[in-house]
Amino acid sequence: QSALTQPASVSGSPGQSITISCTGTNRDVGGFNYVSWYQQHPGKAPKLMIYEVSNRPSGVSNRFSGSKSGNTASLTISGLQAEDEADYYCTSYTNSGIHWVFGGGTKLTVL
């Protein structure tokens, strides 16, 4: 069982917006602004999409945005495109001894 909870799957049509949630506790997501999000296409390495809750690395489309409320972080993808179809993982620093925890991952399907 992953320390952070993500929905197993989400889907949306091209042009629509979707949001993926990442729920933890006050010892990880709720306690620190060190949530990041990663995109992983099949057979490829993960790619950093969002860091420190809402910051986008250089080169990442502004269609990707992040936010946090309490113990839940969210990744929103607007204007869905076919190439957004991938697995998405959240991670957070934790003071529970593990140091870094990942969510179980969410498979995004673009219909």
Partner 1 sequence: EVQLVESGGGLVQPGGSLRLSCAASGFSFSGFWMAWVRQAPGKGLEWVANIKEDGSQKYYVDSVRGRFTISRDNAKNSLYLQMNSLRVEDTAVYYCATHSEYKFEYWGQGTLVTVSS
Residues that bind partner 1 (CB under 8 A): 2, 34, 36, 38, 40, 44-48, 51-52, 57, 89, 91, 93, 97-105
What string of DSSP letters covers 25-56?
Answer: -TTTTTT-S-EEEEEE-TTS--EEEEBTTTBP
CB atoms under 10 Å from CB of 79, counted, come to 12
Query: Which residue's CB is nearer to partner 1, number 17 or number 109?
Result: 109
Query: Which residue's CB is nearer to partner 1, number 17 or number 95?
Result: 95
Query: Which residue's CB is nearer to partner 1, number 36 or number 65?
Result: 36
Nearest approach, Cβ of residue 86 and partner 1 (Å): 13
Residue 6 to residues 14, 25, 97, Cα–Cα distance (Å): 22, 13, 21
Nearest approach, Cβ of residue 24 and partner 1 (Å): 14
- The two structure tokens encoding residue 81: 């495109």
> Could you tell me which of 103, 109, 111 has the C-alpha nearest to residue 50?
103
Rounded Cα gap, residues 20 and 85, in angstroms: 13
Nearest approach, Cβ of residue 4 and partner 1 (Å): 10
Query: Which residue's CB is nearer to partner 1, number 8 or number 82?
Result: 8
Nearest approach, Cβ of residue 101 and partner 1 (Å): 7
